[in-house]
Chains A and B, each alone.
Chain A
Amino acid sequence: QSVLTQPPSVSAAPGQKVTISCSGSSSNIGNNYVSWYQQLPGTAPKLLIYDNDNRPSGIPDRFSGSKSGTSANLGITGLQTGDEADYYCATWDSSLNTWMFGGGTRLTVL
């Protein structure tokens, strides 16, 4: 069981938007940056959002991140079939001095 809690799955139609949540505690999300990773089938995780709400070069602005207290959200608008993937949140835990990953959310674009 992951320390960071994500919904196992979300789904929406093409063109719609979804929000994926990630819940933690004061020792991890509450006091550290959150990053998000997209994992397409059969590939390595890829950085999607860093430092809570920043996009690396090449990531479309359809993807957004936010953080409030001990929770974070990943938003995806204008859904495309190519967005079907597993999405993971991650953050450092200051008490344990370790990295934590969420259990992952599978996005289905219906």
Chain B
Amino acid sequence: EVQLVESGGGLIHPGGSLRLSCAASELVVSRTYMSWVRQAPGKGPEWLSVTYSGGDTFYADSVKGRFTVSRDNSKNTLHLQMTSLRAEDTAVYYCARVIGFGGVPNRYFEYWGQGTLVTVSS
């Protein structure tokens, strides 16, 4: 059974940095599309990034330049480095496996982790 387990969330002051992790089992993160998606309290999901198997990552405009995705293939883990955090970054952060077609990650989110809560507040 595929499992995605996020960790690293917590309370952080505005302007601070935080690194989230997504550990996968029964799925090889370096061989598939992986995304980060967040959900602010009472809001719908917001897509943040997609990482291709080759390692390239594309970001939503809302986080471009502040968030960076990296991958540790030896640990089968995806990371999300978040900097210059703002109150509006407060959300539950999910990693998800994405299924694509024709070399594009465009079909659906097949598996989701349980999420990790990030709270940005002074």
Chain A residues proximal to chain B, CB less than 8 Å: 2, 32-33, 35, 37, 43-47, 50-51, 56, 86, 88, 90, 92, 94, 97-104
A-B contact count (CB 8 A): 61
CB of B67 to closest CB in A, whole Å: 14
Pick 9 A–B contacts, CB within 8 A, sort by A: A32-B106, A33-B101, A35-B109, A37-B109, A47-B110, A92-B104, A98-B60, A100-B47, A101-B44
Within 8 Å by CB of B108, from A43, A47, A102, lies A47
In the complex, the answer to whether A45 meets B106 with C-beta atoms within 8 Å is no
Within 8 Å by CB of A45, from B99, B105, B107, B109, lies B109
Chain B residues proximal to chain A, CB less than 8 Å: 35, 37, 44-47, 50, 58, 60, 94, 99, 101, 104-115
- The closest CB in chain B to the CB of A91 belongs to B106
Given contacts A35-B108, A50-B108, A92-B106, whether A99 and B50 have CB atoms under 8 Å apart is yes
In the complex, the answer to whether B99 meets A44 with C-beta atoms within 8 Å is no
In the complex, the answer to whether B58 meets A101 with C-beta atoms within 8 Å is no
CB of A14 to closest CB in B, whole Å: 26
The complex places the Cα of A46 from the Cα of B96 at a distance, in Å, of 10
Which of B35, B37, B108, B112 lies at the interface centre, i.e. has the most chain A CB atoms within 10 A of its CB?
B108
In the complex, the answer to whether A101 meets B60 with C-beta atoms within 8 Å is no
